[in-house]
Amino acid sequence: MSSEQEQESIRCLVAKVGLDGHDRGAHVIARAFRDAGFEVIYSGLHKAPEEIVQAAVQEDVDVLGISILSGAHDTLVPKIMSGLEEYDAKDDTLVLVGGVIPEEDRPELEAEGVSAIFGPGTSIEETIEFVRENAPDR
Amino acid sequence: MNADDETLLAELLEGKHRALARTISKIENRAPGYRELISKLYAHTGEAEVIGITGSPGAGKSTLVDKLAETYRERGETVGVIAIDPSSPFTGGAVLGDRIRMASTVGDMDVFVRSMSARGTLGGLSTATADAVKAMDAFGKDKIIIETVGAGQNEIDIVRTADTVAVLVPPGSGDDVQTLKAGILEIADVFVVNKADRPGTDRTVQELREMIELGSGSGLSGSGHHGADAGGDVGGSAVATQDDPEERATWTTPIVETVATDGTGVDDFIDELVAHREYLVDSGAHAEKARQRSAEEIRTLLREDVHAMLEDELERAGGIDDLAAAVAAGETDPYTVADEVLSPVEDCLAELETRNP
Ligand code: B12
Ligand SMILES: Nc1nc2c(ncn2[C@@H]2O[C@H](COP(=O)(O)OP(=O)(O)OP(=O)(O)O)[C@@H](O)[C@H]2O)c(=O)[nH]1
Ligand SMILES: [Mg+2]
């Protein structure tokens, strides 16, 4: 390993928005991402969409993973997406949503710019593989 | 500099947050062109006040930084925070947790918080930190706060990027003053006994006070103690210069008590930071520090360049693995190899010298 090679690692923000207090999934994902060699910033619980946008922009993350099990994804996710757009960050941030998202709501989230949705029981390996393959090349 | 970097630079100077964020990423990644970018930023730096906060894990650094940032914002100043987590496991992955504690100012883009991890770059985290400070400075931040866990030499180097270093010492059992690493104590410009709501605060303050008194004259207080040990063989005894030594201001490390969770003592803390800043400027230590920092920076950059050159030479000579195998096989020895790798470089230099005497 040559020491002066570029040291680029994938940076991710794992975010919990709104009143949703289910944080097990977010913890599982944060730890799995860390073990995969990613740099992970965890937002903590009960963040407003603007706070998530602020963190994503300032930390310049490659991947924003939003975890929502409360059912409020249809209002929260669009707010985050438009916030990212406001800061010119939407196009080259890979946005993922995880948690409890009914099948019928998925097309709308994808239309908003969400790249993939990972519901309960999706394999961690698949998720990591997806991130590795789709993290933006900057 | 390519067109993208020109744009990035212009946008950063205009105050676009995304451009600052992206610039720091380039610094962290040592992306192509990052050195030119920093070189261009340089002309716009020098205004920010840089404060380092260190202390043992869980001492309350992030909570205090949060309150500090909040107070600065109330006073109308903009803030940049660099939160460093030097402890990543071998996978290279890390969970950067400082940001969670910095919730008082969320929603306020004028507090720019950036989390950084150790990545084992050659220049090291201290170089990346120093460069990120420059980016924030050029962006126009009034105060820049660096948070790092105080553990080893590496962290001490990081926090030296700051003009003023505050060391947090929480009261109580496991954190007796005697058990603190000497190096950490020596870099303190201000001691902060945080968690002053906990039992044992008075004792910790007392112990620190005794230590400062004991240490006066030997590095823990007095003038320009940073200068004398700031690394590299540049200045020697920093402030012992031409001007009348009697005139020089001195600095005795103060102790402040804080409760970061509710903000108690934060104003006192800021007063000490202001006082230290004044001392630095009045004593000339500030200018001296800046010179030493530049000297160190030049050395680091040169070391990096020479190192890169030598890596190329190593490749040309067959690669480090083969050379090491040759040593193992008894065909040669490390000294001979080093001489052989270096000799084309030396020949080149010698030739240069004869051409430009
Ligand atoms: C455990 C649990 C709780 C625990 C939560 C403990 C905790 N700290 O997390 C407790 C008991 C507190 C709880 C409370 C409530 N719960 Co509950 N809870 C569950 C339950 C049974 C399991 C959730 C869980 O932890 N799963 C294990 C983790 C590892 O899986 P996961 O979160 O799904 O995450 C995986 C994937 O979704 C994905 N993923 C998740 N996040 C992310 C992020 C990224 C970036 C990626 C890539 C992937 C990803 O990867 C993970 C690993 O595979 C679910 C039902 C279910 N089967 O999902 C209900 C459920 C989520 N709860 C529900 C409800 C209604 C509630 C309450 C409102 C109940 C009440 N009336 O009080 C409260 C609300 C609490 C609050 N403040 O938000 C409903 C939500 C309904 C909805 N969305 O419409 C569910 C779906 C149950 C149901 N069928 O009704 N709950
Ligand atoms: N009682 C009390 N608790 C505090 C105080 N300051 C911080 N804490 C708590 O101490 C814990 C650690 O605080 P952090 O701010 O994360 O400490 P840190 O030094 O940044 O920790 P690392 O970055 O992990 O080294 C948190 O639970 C805080 O709420 C204080 O003044 N009094
Ligand atoms: Mg911290």
Ligand 1 atom closest to the Cα of residue A121 is 53
Domain ranges of chain B: 45-283, 300-355
Question: Rounded CA gap, A98 and A134, in Å?
Answer: 16
A7: nearest CB among B18, B94, B121 = B121
pLDDT-wise least confident of A111-125, B142-156, B289-303, B334-348: B142-156
Percent of chain B exceeding pLDDT 70 equals: 81
Residue whose CA is at the smallest distance from ligand 1 atom 72: A21
- Comparing CA positions, the residue from B168, B169, B170, B150 lying closest to residue B158 is B150
* Chain B closest-CA separation from residue A75 CA (Å): 19
B93: nearest CB among A3, A38, A51 = A38
Note residues around ion ligand 3 (Cβ under 5 angstroms): B 61-62, 98
Query: Does residue B68 line the site of ligand 2, with CB under 6 A?
Result: no
Taking the CA atoms of A138, B3, B9 and B10 in sequence, report the sign of the dihedral they define.
negative
* Chain B closest-CA separation from residue A67 CA (Å): 16
- Inform me whether the pLDDT recorded for B230 exceeds 50: no
Is A58–B114 a contact, with Cβ atoms under 8 angstroms apart?
yes
- Comparing CA positions, the residue from B135, B143, B139 lying closest to residue B50 is B143
Which pLDDT belongs to residue A69? 96
Question: Which chain A residues touch B120 with a CB distance below 8 Å?
Answer: 3, 7
Q: How far apart are the first and last CA of chain A?
A: 23
Cross-strand pairs, B77: none
Query: Does residue B149 line the site of ligand 2, with CB under 6 A?
Result: yes
pLDDT digits (tens, 9 = 90+) for B101-123: 887 777 788 999 999 887 655 55
Which pLDDT belongs to residue B153? 64
Residue of B nearest to A87 (CA): B18
C-alpha dihedral (B328, B330, B332, B337), degrees to nearest 10: 10
Averaged confidence pLDDT in chain B: 83
B308: nearest CB among A4, A34, A36 = A4
Mean pLDDT value of segment B15-44: 93
Helix orientation angle between A124-134 and A24-35, rounded to the nearest 10 degrees: 60
Is B109–A54 a contact, with Cβ atoms under 8 angstroms apart?
yes
Query: Does residue B205 line the site of ligand 2, with CB under 6 A?
Result: no
Does A9 reach chain B within 8 Å, measured CB to CB?
A: yes
Helix orientation angle between A73-86 and A49-58, rounded to the nearest 10 degrees: 40
Does A106 reach chain B within 8 Å, measured CB to CB?
A: no
pLDDT-wise least confident of B48-52, B61-65, B159-163: B159-163
Higher pLDDT, A95 or B174: A95
Question: Rounded CA gap, B332 and A55, in Å?
Answer: 54
Query: Does residue B59 line the site of ligand 2, with CB under 6 A?
Result: yes
Residue of B nearest to A8 (CA): B29
- 8 A C-beta contact, residue A105 and residue A97: no
pLDDT digits (tens, 9 = 90+) for B268-278: 999 999 999 99
Ligand 1 atom closest to the Cα of residue A26 is 41
* CATH tag for B45-283 (out of 2.30.40.10, 1.10.287.610, 3.90.180.10, 3.40.50.300): 3.40.50.300
Higher pLDDT, B185 or B42: B42
- 8 A C-beta contact, residue B285 and residue B225: no
| Three-state SS at B61 | helix
* Helix or strand (DSSP H, E) at A25: helix A24-35
- Inform me whether the pLDDT recorded for A81 exceeds 50: yes
Structure tokens at B148: 């790092």
Mean pLDDT value of segment B19-33: 91
B255 C-alpha to center of ligand 3: Å?
21
Question: Rounded CA gap, B171 and B183, in Å?
Answer: 19
Which pLDDT belongs to residue A122? 87
Is A58–B95 a contact, with Cβ atoms under 8 angstroms apart?
no
Taken in order of first residue, the domains within chain A and their CATH numbers are 11-133 (3.40.50.280)
Does A129 reach chain B within 8 Å, measured CB to CB?
A: no
Higher pLDDT, A57 or B354: A57
Give the predicted TM-score (pTM) of the model. 0.87
Neighbours of B87 (CB within 10 A): 12
Query: Does residue B256 line the site of ligand 2, with CB under 6 A?
Result: no
Q: What ipTM, to 2 d.p.?
A: 0.89
Question: Rounded CA gap, B96 and B242, in Å?
Answer: 47
Letter string b/e over residues B273-297, b meaning 16 or more CB atoms within 10 A of that residue's CB: beebbebbeebbbbebbeebbebbb
Query: Does residue B170 line the site of ligand 2, with CB under 6 A?
Result: no
Residue whose CA is at the smallest distance from ligand 2 atom 9: B60
- Strand arrangement of the beta sheet that strand A11-16 belongs to: A116-118, A94-99, A63-68, A11-16, A39-42, B94-96
pLDDT band with cut points at 50, 70 and 90 for residue A3: very low
pLDDT digits (tens, 9 = 90+) for A21-31: 999 999 999 99
Does A31 reach chain B within 8 Å, measured CB to CB?
A: yes
- Inform me whether the pLDDT recorded for B234 exceeds 80: no
pLDDT band with cut points at 50, 70 and 90 for residue B235: very low
Instruction: Label the pairing between strands B49-55 and B143-149.
Output: parallel
pLDDT digits (tens, 9 = 90+) for A5-14: 344 689 999 9
User: Which of B115, B136, B300 is best to mutate for the A interface (most A CBs within 10 A)?
Assistant: B115
pLDDT band with cut points at 50, 70 and 90 for residue B266: very high
